[in-house]
Structure 1
């Protein structure tokens, strides 16, 4: 399967980062969750929202 082979090659190229990500206790999960939430709010207002409205929705959703 070419997709699986490509995935494995990518992991091998960056093996140090993969090992560090699996072995450290530090996590960026909370930050990633906030980024995902902001992206969702931005997509919901696509074509209608300017920066001021997006900022207001982010603050109100928090």
Structure 2
């Protein structure tokens, strides 16, 4: 059985629907951080990027 077949076999999708845990907040933080990095690409160093991420 391949990895894709194993993922789609039913155990993981069923657990995803049944369990109350989700990664919504983590995904949101990651998306926001990537957006800030794209906006500041080539404009400033790490210190200013870190400052903007921590302030928002």
2:53 corresponds, among 44, 53, 58, to 58
User: 1:17, 1:49 → 2: CA distance?
Assistant: 42
**5+ long unaligned stretches in structure 1:** 1-9
Number of the residue aligned with 1:48: 43
Alpha-carbon RMSD across the aligned residues, in angstroms, is: 1.5
| Higher fraction of helix | 1
If the length of structure 2 is used for normalisation, what is the TM-score?
0.72
Structure 1 position 59, deviation (Å): 1.3
Structure 1 position 35, deviation (Å): 0.7
User: 1:19, 1:51 → 2: CA distance?
Assistant: 42
**5+ long unaligned stretches in structure 2:** none
The runs of 4+ residues in structure 1 deviating greater than 6 Å are none
If the length of structure 1 is used for normalisation, what is the TM-score?
0.67
